[in-house]
Structure 1
Amino acid sequence: MHSNSIDKTPSFSSLSLDEQLLSAVKKLGFEQPTPVQLQSIPLALEHKDLLVSAETGSGKTAAFLLPALHHLLTLPSGKSGVRALILTPTRELAQQIFKHCQQLTEFTDLKTGLITGGDDFRLQQNMLRRNTEIVIATPGRVLELMEQEIPDFSNLEVLILDEADRMLDMGFSEDVLTIANSCNTQRQTLLFSATLTHFGVIKMADRVLKNHEVVALNTLHDGHRNIEQQIVLADDNDHKLKLLIWLLQNETYDKALVFTNSRIQADALRGPLRGQKLRVGVLHGEMDQKDRNRMMELFREGEVKIMLATDLAARGLDIKGINLVINFDVPRNGINYIHRIGRTGRVDELGLTIALVKHTEWNLMSGIERFLKQKFKHRNIKELEGKYKGPKKLKASGKATGGKKKIEPKKAAVEKVKIRDRDKKNVGKRRVPTVKPTIEVNQP
């Protein structure tokens, strides 16, 4: 039964790709296309524009690289300039796509270039002047080069926007549109996003795609089936630190990612964790690019087993073996939560995510659950059980009712009567007996 089901699964050779690419795919050990590759590649090979939603780790990089490379190989161009441009939100993701592209072009003569901020500007200018066919880049640096009139996108054949939702979140919308508008209008455009429900993704698709096909493998609310999601309640940040240390010392994992909402918090956690003999590194946007590259390499090689990171690493950090993600700080919204936990549970691997939640973060975490239409598993660590058990339910009786009783309308009425008796001496004595009993009733 099992072998028959495997036999029915299409192979890469069934996708009609160039033989040089198939040789590279075979060398990389890829046996069967993933769902996103199986659905996207045939459409892309027909030179159609695509809007694709697929989570990180689903094989989407090869899903856009393979058809783009096939096009460049089978339809040689005598024109100058960049033939394929891949825009991505972060330097780290650009570097990983560049590496993957080099692997897939190993048996070809195609030249690939990398353009990101933090690297030598003149070297990038020279690389573009040599008519590099494939360029992987971040939008900011491309715009800087465009101001020098260096990149020539007039003959561009394929434009790929990877992690478009993240580029929008990072404020690159206008930059991306400016670059897209400078490209050959007859190009093919492939837009990849983790979700199709992001408010700006559809709007961008309408601006840059022509008569496009949609490949929707997931939506924003899809659960991560390979990931167990847990919540551990904490009293305060000191309690969180104790919980974090316990988890890192007692959970089983190859690599762990610990997310904070600020670089200050990430830096602050490094000392205490290293004091527990844990192999810890830090990754955030304030670091020099060379230091970031070095830290990622140490993490990839396993020299660093635990990475403290801000949301910079939530996207574009494609490293195998991350099977534990801990949110020391609850992320600010559901989209960031998805991107963080997406670092684990890749393809067929299992992952565990744990959010440490204190009382000021309860509403934020509950909002994320509602946003994702999921309920996370609550976990109690007996060795470090805290006092905070979640918000108390409001009671319909008790203090609320007692509060109403404290307002004594009778007393107020009595005071009014007293004032009348003092101020209006002509009031008949017949009213006095009526007032006195009332006063006596309210006296202790």
Structure 2
Amino acid sequence: MLLKIENLGMVDRANIEINGITIIAGDNNTGKSTIGKALFAIFNALCNSEEKIKDLRKQELNKNIKRICMDYFDKEDLPINLFEMTRRLPRNLSNLLTEHKNIDIENNIQSIINHYQIEITEESLKDLQIKIKNSVDKIMNVSETDLQKEFLQRYFLEVFNEQINSLSNVNSIMDIVLTIKDRDIKIKFSNDRCIKLEVPYKILHEAFYIDDPFIINSLNTKSLSIPFYRGRYFSVEQRHLIDSIEKYDRLKNENVFASLFAEKSLEEIYAILNDVVEGNILFQDNNISLQSKKFNKPININNLSTGLKAFVILKILLERNILKEKDVLILDEPEIHLHPKWQMQYAQIIVLLQKFFDLSIIVTTHSADFLAAIEYYAKKHKNIDKCKFYLAKNEDNFNTFVDVTNETEEIYKQMFIPKFHLDELNYELEENEDE
């Protein structure tokens, strides 16, 4: 998979290969997170777009047909048969139209009206049929491409807080090409509006973005009574992760076999996770807790350390079979709350997840130790050929990304500059003390 970006937010130009684990390092404010957010927006806006469009049409048809019926039979107290008809007619028509498209609208309207014995003149019936048909034609004639563009535009606007086009070049065109299996998804934005979209194939996989272990607290309903969590703003990336975990409860019977297969094939990953997160994660009464021999009763997930929460999120995604083969996983500075020992374990989990799930993983980091751990475990598990390393640079207020896969010392050199500077300061301090 190859991602080419021009003039997106803080990124002037990027050419990023994603064929396993892609690590992006560099100074703050160089657009590292933008790469992962762009991939997240593309995958989740276009994933299963046919089903999303079908549901959207169905909702719009149902809403408009119901409004026409209610306006047409404008009465304060509708008789029960008329009330039932105004519910069934929109529902039946919207279902038929989205499943079969070419149906006889007039006959269906008349059939339902006859079924409920609604008294209506031929002239009034004809007028009602025309109004409904005109509304239906308007909705059904909106092309799938236009609806896809609208989905994508709204997703990008949310992810990038309505600042999609280049922040340094006002009149530029934002241009993205995502190449998968020699086919190109092409996207262009001008003035934060999608002006071009080409999707030559179906996207069937989701992207998961993890940047904040504290979001796990929001899954506990008790947390919602605390003002901090009730009023907290969640990004679209965080909301997607929360919704994916919550959705499992509605689909858990469908995931029984998949969860069992995952557990058996991922014993090595579970061994690492269980070493850090010892015990079982319990979901009871809409609250999450950890049951462990270390505690005399299950401990509320909110009371765990931030670093432990980072591992709990991964454990939930695996145990609930939310993260699936060939999905996209974006980890924005995952080491930030982790002790060096846990950074090494987290790095090993990343390498093994990619190996066993064939995931596309993007990692941004500022830690030399974490970066070295990923390199080490990728070599140990014979997965280093699935790793790409990029250094984000800002030169003359121009943000670009340099492929340093065969020269990773370039990343370490930049990371160690502050240490060298600190050594110089300490040397100066010692000299001053000697004087």
- Report the TM-score, using the length of structure 1 for normalisation: 0.31
Instruction: Kindly indicate which of the two structures has a greater share of residues assigned to strand.
Output: 2
Instruction: Kindly indicate which of the two structures has a greater share of residues assigned to helix.
Output: 2
- Report the TM-score, using the length of structure 2 for normalisation: 0.32
